[in-house]
Amino acid sequence: MVRQIISTGTTANDGTGDDLRSGGIKINSNFEELYTFMPGGLVQNITGEAVVSLDSSTLYLFNMDSTPAGSFTLSDGSSVGEIKRIINKSDSDVDVSITIGSSGLAYPKSSTGLTITNKIAFDLMWDGTEWHLDRDSDSRLTIT
């Protein structure tokens, strides 16, 4: 969809711009399009050590302030091209371990999870059979 601009008229209150309803519809349409590019539009802030299953339609913010960090499991994706965004805002001495569902990571072939050390943000993309990591190497990520 092309961005929808709200017409404000030639001068204030001259009646030539969009009415309130039309303007609201354009605003909603613009935001709907933006949210389709976000991973699910939901955010879960994880601050504790409880074992959490990471469904594949949410942005996860890890923000833990002590060790040991918990273990988390990312389920398989539900549609091709689905993106999982993971942000670790935790202190540098907190490791976050994520097990990658039944499918694992695409590379290296036998990978079944990863450990995040230090602050980092990255994406995982579902290709229909396995998750792909958005980077080749990073010292803050250990692939298991």
- CATH top-level class for 41-143? mainly beta
> Would you place residue 41 in the very low, low, confident or very high pLDDT band (cuts 50, 70, 90)?
low
58-62 β-sheet, strand order: 42-46, 58-62, 83-88, 120-126, 131-133
> Would you place residue 138 in the very low, low, confident or very high pLDDT band (cuts 50, 70, 90)?
confident
What average pLDDT does this structure show over 69-98? 75
Specify whether the CB–CB gap between 99 and 72 falls below 8 A.
yes
Tokens read off for 100:
């990658």
Please tell me the total number of residues recorded for the chain in this structure: 144
Determine the pLDDT at residue 20.
Answer: 92
Domain ranges of the chain: 1-37, 41-143
Is pTM beyond 0.85 here? Answer: no
- The Cα–Cα gap between 71 and 80 comes to 26
